[in-house]
Amino acid sequence: MNKTQFIFALTFILLSFNTAFAQYGYGNGYGNGYGGGMGRNSMSQMNQMDQTSSKPKEIPVEVTVAKIMEKLKPELNLDELQTIAIGNVYTDIIKSQTAIMKDEKLGQTEKSNEIKALFEVNERKVNEYLSEEQKLKYKALKEERGNDKKEKKKKKKSKKDE
C-alpha cells in the first residue's frame, strides 16, 4: 500500500467516525439524527431549566412592607414619621423571618417558636410608635385579621371534606 492509498483510507475512516458520532448528538454535528439532538449537553441543560423554574420567585421585602403600610396608614391614621418607623420595624422582622425559614439547622417547631417570638417583638416595637387610640385600633385590626385567617382555614377544610 503506498502513501496516497494509506492517506485516503485513513481520511475515509476518520470521516466515518465523525459522521457516526454527529448523528447521536456528539461532536460538532447538529444533533438532528438519532436522539433528536438529545446529547449529554442538551439533557443537562433541560435538567437545569427544570430546577430553576420550580423555585418560586421571592417578593422583595420592600414590596411586602409597602403593602402592609398601605393598609395600616389610613386605618391607624399614621403620620409620616410613624409610617417610616413602623415600616422599618416590619422590614427588619420580615428579613429575620426569612432568615429563620431558610435556616436548615432548625427544626420545624424551633422555627415556629422563633417566628412567634419575632411577632411578639414586632408588636412591642410597633406599639412604641403609636398613641393610645392607635394602639386600640391596631389591636382590633390584628384580631380581625386573625379571625379572617381562621375563617379561610375553615372554608378550605369544608371544601376538602366535600
One domain, residues 103 and 152? yes
- pLDDT at position 49: 56
Residue 91 — very low, low, confident or very high, per pLDDT cuts 50/70/90? very high
Provide the percentage of residues in the chain whose pLDDT is more than 90: 22
Instruction: Look at the block and give the residue holding cell 461532536.
Output: 27
One domain, residues 74 and 127? yes
One domain, residues 127 and 75? yes
One domain, residues 92 and 126? yes
One domain, residues 14 and 72? no
Task: Say which amino acid occupies 102.
Answer: K
| Enclosing domain of residue 22 | 3-54
- pLDDT at position 29: 47
pTM for the predicted model, two decimal places: 0.57
Digit-coded pLDDT (tens) for 135-145: 999 989 888 88
- pLDDT at position 106: 82
pLDDT for 59 beyond 90: no
Number of domains observed in the structure of the chain: 2
DSSP collapsed to 3 states, the chain: CCHHHHHHHHHHHHHHHHHHHHHCCCCCCCCCCCCCCCCHHHHHHHHHHHHHHHCCCCCCHHHHHHHHHHHHHHHHCCCHHHHHHHHHHHHHHHHHHHHHHHCCCCCHHHHHHHHHHHHHHHHHHHHHCCCHHHHHHHHHHHHHHHHHHHHHHHHHHHHHHC
One domain, residues 77 and 105? yes
Cα separations (Å) of 106 from 22, 45, 58, 113, 119?
A: 50, 33, 21, 10, 18
One domain, residues 83 and 99? yes
One domain, residues 45 and 74? no
pLDDT for 128 beyond 80: yes
